[in-house]
């Protein structure tokens, strides 16, 4: 479970440990492997037409980007417990909404950060239009948010419960 609020990323201990382990792997063995691939490709000669070299450099760029992302997340991380189950939408909660009050047109998502969350859970940031619209609302309340086209949409909060992973 992860939640973001004002540049702080709230993580459960398990999510923090998982991200720390990923960072250690990428900073150590994975980084060394990429450097070895680049050096091996360099030995093949002309770098302008060396596809292996360019692919390894691209992989290195992606790896370094992920390392920077993980460092930023972990630097601002606060390890804590799941939010209170009091029916109020907040980061770390799984929210079920109905579009335009239609109980047949619903969506369930996690309000929080994608880090540490499985791909099976739709996730919206508290800073997203939908996230900021529902954040702080309670079960039964309506929330209005702005769509990308500039129009407004209204949803009804049907269910709110802490994310348990």
Q: Domain 93-162, what fold?
A: Chitinase A; domain 3 (3.10.50)
- C-alpha Rg value of the chain to the nearest Å: 21
Same fold, 2-79 and 93-162: no
Residue with tokens 């360099």: 42
27-86 pLDDT per residue, tens:
999 999 999 999 988 888 777 778 888 899 999 999 999 999 899 888 887 776 666 678
Report the candidate in 134, 82, 137, 73 with the shortest Cα–Cα distance to residue 109: 134
Please tell me the predicted confidence (pLDDT) of residue 78. 72
Q: At 106, is the secondary structure helix, strand, or coil?
A: strand
Question: What's the pTM?
Answer: 0.58
Domain ranges of the chain: 2-79, 93-162
Q: Where are the alpha helices (DSSP H) in the chain?
A: 13-25, 31-42, 51-75, 129-134
Structural class in CATH, domain 2-79: mainly alpha
């Amino acid at each position: 479970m992860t939640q973001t609020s004002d540049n702080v990323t709230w993580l459960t201990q398990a999510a923090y440990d998982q991200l720390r382990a990923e960072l250690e792997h990428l900073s150590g063995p994975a980084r060394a492997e990429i450097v070895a691939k680049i050096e091996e490709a360099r030995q093949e000669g002309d770098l302008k037409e060396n596809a292996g070299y360019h692919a390894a450099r691209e992989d290195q760029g992606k790896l370094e980007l992920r390392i920077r992302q993980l460092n930023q997340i972990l630097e601002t991380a606060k390890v804590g417990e799941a939010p209170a189950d009091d029916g109020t939408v907040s980061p770390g909660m799984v929210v079920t909404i109905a579009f335009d009050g239609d109980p047949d047109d619903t969506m369930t998502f996690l309000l929080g950060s994608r880090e540490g969350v499985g791909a099976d859970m739709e996730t919206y940031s508290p800073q997203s239009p939908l996230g900021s619209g529902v954040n702080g609302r309670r079960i039964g309340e309506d929330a209005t948010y702005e769509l990308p086209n500039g129009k407004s949409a209204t949803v009804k909060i049907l269910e709110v419960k802490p994310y348990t992973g």
